[in-house]
Structure 1
Amino acid sequence: MVCHADPVSTTWRHLPAPAREIAAAAAEAVAAARERDAGAYELAVERLTAADRAGLVLGGVVRLLLEESHPDGLAGDDVRQVLERCVRSVTPWWSQVDPHVLLVLLASALGVYDPGEDDAPPGPGEIARHAPLLVADLLAVTGRPLDDYLAAAFAEVARTELHD
C-alpha cells in the first residue's frame, strides 16, 4: 500500500509531527495566497487553524519578514503601507480579509499589541486564517523562500521553550 500523506520537505523531517504539520499547512496556505486561489486557500487555512501554535510560528515569520524588509526599523507609515498593500492585493480574491486582524498580526509581531486594550481581539483561528496573507505579501518584497523564515521561526520557538 502506498502512503498518500502530504510530501514533507527534508527541511522539516527533524521536527516533531505537530511542527511538521504547521510547516506543511503554512506552505500550502502561503502558496494558495500567492496564487490567489480562494478555494485552495480555504482548505489550507482550515488545516492550519487545526494546528496548535500555528499563530505563534507564523507570527515569528511575520516579524522576521518585517525586520528583513525594513532593516532600519518600522515607522507608523511603514506599518500602514504594509497593511494597505496586503488588504488591496487580497480583497479581490478573498473577500473575508479583515484589516483589523492583519493589524493585530503586525502589532503582535512587533511586540506592541495589548489584547487587553482591544474590544474585539481576534482568536487563534482568525490569526491563523490571516497570517498566510501577510506572509505571502511580505515574501513578495523579500524574494526569499518561505522555508528560510519558517526554519528561523521554529528555531526561535525552540529557544524560547528551552529558556522557559
Structure 2
Amino acid sequence: MVCHAGPVTTTWRHLPASAREIAEAATEAVDAARDRDAGAYGPAADRLTAADRAGLVLGGVVRLLLEETHPDGLDGDDVRQVLERCVRSAAQWRPDVDPHVLLVLLAGALGVYDPGDDDAPPDPAAIARHAPLLVADLLAAAGRPLEGYLSAAFAEVARTELHD
C-alpha cells in the first residue's frame, strides 16, 4: 500500500523555468505513480522526457531516498529488495515496467553504473518513464513527501555545477 501525504502545496515559482518544468513534471509523475493513475502518468513522463536534466535531478532524489532509507549503506540484497518491491508494485498497473531500467536507475543513483558495461543503455524516455515509479516506491517506504527531496536534489545539482 502506498501512503499519500496530502495535496501538494509546494510552488516552484522561485526556480528558473527549466528547473520549474522538471519540478512540476516530476511532481505530477510521482503523484500519478503513487495513485497508480495510468492516464496522468503517461503525459507527466512525456514532460520529464522533454525536460533537460530531469534524469540528473531524479537520480539525486533516488540517491537521497536510498541514503535515508538505508542509513548503514546498501548491499546487494538491499538493492535486490528495492528493485523487487518496485517492480512488483509497478507491474500491477504498468505491465511495461522494465526491471533492467530500474536497475540502471538504482546503479546510477549509487554512482556505480558504467554505460560501457551495458550493451544498450536505456534511452532518456525509458529513464523518464521509470524514474517516477522508483521515486514513488522509495517515498512510500520512507513515508515522506517528494518536495524536500526534490529541493535537496536541485541544490545538489546547483552546487555541482558551481564547482565544475
> Is the TM-score greater than 0.5?
yes
Instruction: Spell out, residue by residue over 1:92-145, the C-alpha distance to the aligned partner (whole angstroms, 9 max, x if none).
Output: 101111000000000000000000110110112211111000000000011111
Alpha-carbon distance between aligned partners in 1 of 2:9 and 2:69, rounded to the nearest angstrom: 28
Aligned counterparts, 1:80-99, within 5 A: 80-99=80-99
Does structure 1 residue 161 correspond to structure 2 residue 148?
no
**Greater alpha carbon shift after TM alignment, 69-78 vs 44-53:** 44-53
Alpha-carbon distance between aligned partners in 2 of 1:158 and 1:88, rounded to the nearest angstrom: 34
AA partner of residue 99 (structure 1)? P
Alpha-carbon distance between aligned partners in 1 of 2:82 and 2:146, rounded to the nearest angstrom: 18
Structure 1 gaps of 5+ residues are 1-6
Aligned counterparts, 1:11-160, within 5 A: 12-160=12-160
Alpha-carbon distance between aligned partners in 2 of 1:163 and 1:124, rounded to the nearest angstrom: 25
Q: Which has the larger radius of gyration?
A: 1
Query: Over aligned residue pairs, what C-alpha RMSD do you find?
Result: 1.2
Structure 1 position 47, deviation (Å)? 1.1
Alpha-carbon distance between aligned partners in 2 of 1:34 and 1:9, rounded to the nearest angstrom: 17
Moved over 4 A (4+): none
Alpha-carbon distance between aligned partners in 1 of 2:115 and 2:104, rounded to the nearest angstrom: 9
Structure 2 gaps of 5+ residues are 1-7
For 1:108, what is the secondary structure of its paired residue?
A: helix
For 1:94, what is the secondary structure of its paired residue?
A: coil
CA contact (8 A) 1:8 1:24 kept: no
For 1:20, what is the secondary structure of its paired residue?
A: helix
Instruction: Spell out, residue by residue over 1:139-162, the C-alpha distance to the aligned partner (whole angstroms, 9 max, x if none).
Output: 001111100000000000000000
Query: How many residues align structurally?
Result: 157
Structure 1 position 9, deviation (Å)? 3.3
